[in-house]
Structure 1
Amino acid sequence: MVRSWDNTPNGTMRAITLTSPRATPPTACFTYRTDYPKPSLPNPHFCLVRIYAIGLNRAELRARNAEPVSPVEFGIFKEEFQDECPQVLGEEFVGEVVEAGSNTEFKLGDRVAGWAYGGGKAYDGSYAEFTICHQRRLWKLGEAAKDVPWAVLGAIPMGLWTAYGALFLAAETKPRDVVFVHGATSSVGLWAILVAKDQGCYVIATTRQESKVKKLKDAGADWVVLDSELQNPQMIQQIAATEVQTVLELVGLEALENISMPVTKAGGTVVKCGILGKVWKMSLSAGLVTAKRKLTTFTTLDEDYDYASRVLQDAVKKVKSGKYNKENFLDSTYNLEDVGLAHQRMEDCAACGKVVLLVQ
């Protein structure tokens, strides 16, 4: 079967390949190569991008273990679904266009961000020096990006868009609403605090670790609650009394019944878009969702391309101006060849914000 991304390699590049799925520790899973085939444009709708920074996502921990994927994770390529995992993981990146397809609106030198769902499952992902990307998966970062370091740019795209889309598209959150972010030390959680405060919302954030409370407050959270306190019904009632309009559930399905729904006001919305707890499926009681509360989901699959572009470029401008401080959303950086150590930091839940790989 010929697929839309099939291409003839042109030269070689540096890349990280998944050679031993499920091995422990994570460093044993990967091999650093300097002779990996460099892709070429498969058709006029793609661009070739020189990658400079890669934001890591928890979906890549699952991809590292070669766990089954769903056709929906292929996004625009779902009609070309394949079971096999690509050799190169990585689902988002920032870099410069080095070759633009004739049917795209990109040009040589454009600073761009791209994402390719669940570790680049359709074809090789972003743990590499170069990648191909379809025009509908690629966004210009705007003029302000020229003044923002690659490491900082790498910590923005998917975390920002997932948080913004969950709050303001899926949940239709309004300025001055009360927002509850469960699992706020993730990249999405920290971006949720930043964009919600930017819209004048009151934000309640949670963390399992007392050492991370200050980071959440520095990002703008008005009230930080430890997850251990959420086991107390009185705390749930106290949070609910604040009239929470929107809950962003990032811990997972297991928290819906005992935490997310109980703290949500009548007419409010719970948006489930995170699996920090690694529970991928469960049975929900029939009475969990009532007509008074809405349960929905949001992923990067849901993007409106032009809307996402505006949100992304606006965020880059605010990073450049200092309105969004990099210390609020960038956790740490690693060189490409140290991807195993970066995965270990995520696996240990040591990160507070985005972990970024640099391709120097």
Structure 2
Amino acid sequence: MPSWSNTPKGTMAAAVLTNPGQADPSDCFTYVTDYPKPSLPSEDWVLIRVRAAGLNRAELRARNVEHVSPLEFGMFIDEFHTDAPKVMGEEYVGEVEEAGSSSGFKKGEVVCGWAYGGGKPYDGAYAEYTIAHKKRCWRLPDTAREIPWEVLGAVPMGLWTAYGAIFSAGETKPGSTVLVHGGTSSVGIWAILVAKDKGCTVIATTRQASKVKRLKDAGADHVILEEDIQKSLDEVYRIAPKGVNTVVEIVGINHLKKVSMPALAVHGTCVLMGVLDKGWALPEFDSTYIPITRKLTTYTTMEEDYEPSTRVLAETMEKIRSGVYKPEVFLDKAFHLKDIGKAHQYMEDNKAVGKIVVTV
């Protein structure tokens, strides 16, 4: 019996994945108001009234019946399976509706978390309610109530993935030079924001000229329009003659040899944590991909340390309230859950700079 099994109680609204793999994303989903409402699997879990859910590329892959990595299951890796749940959506913000006695939460608290809905173990956040294990749910400060739900929905996963990649996996020091390869993604925008907040010099890349200004508005010191790989690398070295201290590789593993590793300074680190190009593996790999005195590491959200992430989330809420982080920079567009297909199409068309959110 899976650890998340529960007996539904009542019904709720949800966007159900009824026809995966259809060419039009709207044909993949059916919005219903009588989907089974989950209950607590055990006293370690909480039931969340979802207010907003952030979209992630993993959900596009799940909708299209594409590759799912066991690592995406995080703490539930032993329950790995390749099929998508009926209700996707792997991150949320909302309020605790019911808290297990050993969860450490209480009814009414504002929380966020990773619901593992993009091809993950159980039903996710494209619904009025979802469940979360206490280790996958984060309490937000009371002041978060002053921030609109759609803005809060654009924060959790992108923020912590970027912060963890740069400062945990990358061990980046304040004042370093950081290359964000894939800057217009939600993680890319947050990488720019958190790196600049620590006094780093940020170089960001994009393949679309129309998005250059948005990256500069986010705080990137330099934006490279990536039309030719070698010219882009030459531009990196024009800006940072000795190379950069940290590369945040969001585009994919196929760019390690051509871009990420060559761009590093001596003792620099490349953090591989994205597959925007859907490349999960290289046909061949040898140690020459990693130059002498450079490092390659990976980062996934299953590696977060609970206490630092709680602190960073709280600090970020205050920075949003005070105007340090402006919503128009990291939130691209909000849709209603009824229009989840349109939201998926918008993401699939690569129109966004930052996060796409659905409100519930």
Normalized against structure 2, the TM-score is what?
0.96
CA contact 1:230–1:236 (8 Å) conserved in 2: no
Q: Report the equivalent of 1:315.
A: 316
Q: Report the equivalent of 1:325.
A: 326
Q: Report the equivalent of 1:132.
A: 131
CA contact 2:68–2:119 (8 Å) conserved in 1: no
Does 2:71 match 1:72?
yes
Equivalent position amino acid for 2:222 in 1: W
CA contact 1:239–1:263 (8 Å) conserved in 2: no
Separation in 1, partners of 2:240, 2:200: 16
Q: How far does the alpha carbon of each residue in 1:42-64 deviate from its partner, in whole angstroms, 9 at most, with x for none? A: 11000011000000000111111
Give 1:236 deviation, angstroms.
4.5
Equivalent pairs, count: 358
Give 1:86 deviation, angstroms.
1.2
Q: Percent identity?
A: 57
The alignment partner of 2:103 has SS state of coil
Equivalent position amino acid for 1:205 in 2: A
Separation in 1, partners of 2:119, 2:205: 30
Equivalent position amino acid for 1:254 in 2: N
Does 2:199 match 1:200?
yes
Q: How far does the alpha carbon of each residue in 1:290-315 deviate from its partner, in whole angstroms, 9 at most, with x for none? A: 33110111111110011111111111
Normalized against structure 1, the TM-score is what?
0.96
Does 2:171 match 1:172?
yes
- Equivalent residues in 2 for 1:122-161, closer than 5 Å: 122-161=121-160
- Equivalent residues in 2 for 1:1-360, closer than 5 Å: 2-117=1-116, 119=118, 121-232=120-231, 234-241=234-241, 243-282=243-282, 283-359=284-360
The alignment partner of 2:308 has SS state of helix
Query: Structure 1 279/72 Cα, relative in aligned 2: closer, same or farther at 3 Å?
Result: closer
Which stretch has the larger CA shift, 19-28 or 184-193?
A: 19-28
CA contact 2:203–2:224 (8 Å) conserved in 1: yes
Give 1:20 deviation, angstroms.
1.0
Query: Structure 1 226/128 Cα, relative in aligned 2: closer, same or farther at 3 Å?
Result: same
Separation in 2, partners of 1:27, 1:91: 19
Separation in 2, partners of 1:242, 1:224: 18
Separation in 2, partners of 1:225, 1:74: 34
CA contact 1:115–1:158 (8 Å) conserved in 2: yes
Give 1:146 deviation, angstroms.
1.1
Query: Structure 1 270/244 Cα, relative in aligned 2: closer, same or farther at 3 Å?
Result: same
CA contact 1:203–1:222 (8 Å) conserved in 2: yes
Separation in 1, partners of 2:67, 2:180: 29
CA contact 1:240–1:264 (8 Å) conserved in 2: no
Q: How far does the alpha carbon of each residue in 1:118-141 deviate from its partner, in whole angstroms, 9 at most, with x for none? A: 616111011100001101000011
Separation in 2, partners of 1:278, 1:118: 18
The alignment partner of 1:20 has SS state of coil
CA contact 2:62–2:119 (8 Å) conserved in 1: no
Separation in 2, partners of 1:320, 1:268: 34
CA contact 1:229–1:235 (8 Å) conserved in 2: no
The alignment partner of 2:343 has SS state of helix
Separation in 2, partners of 1:285, 1:171: 22
Equivalent position amino acid for 1:163 in 2: A
The alignment partner of 1:279 has SS state of coil
The alignment partner of 1:17 has SS state of strand
Give 1:66 deviation, angstroms.
2.1
CA contact 2:192–2:219 (8 Å) conserved in 1: yes
Separation in 2, partners of 1:280, 1:338: 30
CA contact 1:51–1:130 (8 Å) conserved in 2: yes
Query: Structure 1 133/270 Cα, relative in aligned 2: closer, same or farther at 3 Å?
Result: same
The alignment partner of 2:309 has SS state of helix
Equivalent position amino acid for 1:136 in 2: K
The alignment partner of 2:86 has SS state of coil
Which stretch has the larger CA shift, 347-356 or 109-118?
A: 109-118
Give 1:240 deviation, angstroms.
4.7
Which stretch has the larger CA shift, 71-80 or 10-19?
A: 71-80
Give 1:253 deviation, angstroms.
1.2
Give 1:279 deviation, angstroms.
1.6
Separation in 1, partners of 2:315, 2:346: 30
CA contact 1:91–1:115 (8 Å) conserved in 2: yes
Give 1:72 deviation, angstroms.
2.8
CA contact 2:74–2:301 (8 Å) conserved in 1: no
Separation in 1, partners of 2:270, 2:45: 36
Separation in 1, partners of 2:263, 2:287: 18
Q: Unmatched 5+ residue regions in structure 1?
A: none
CA contact 2:262–2:291 (8 Å) conserved in 1: no
CA contact 2:117–2:125 (8 Å) conserved in 1: no
Give 1:242 deviation, angstroms.
5.2
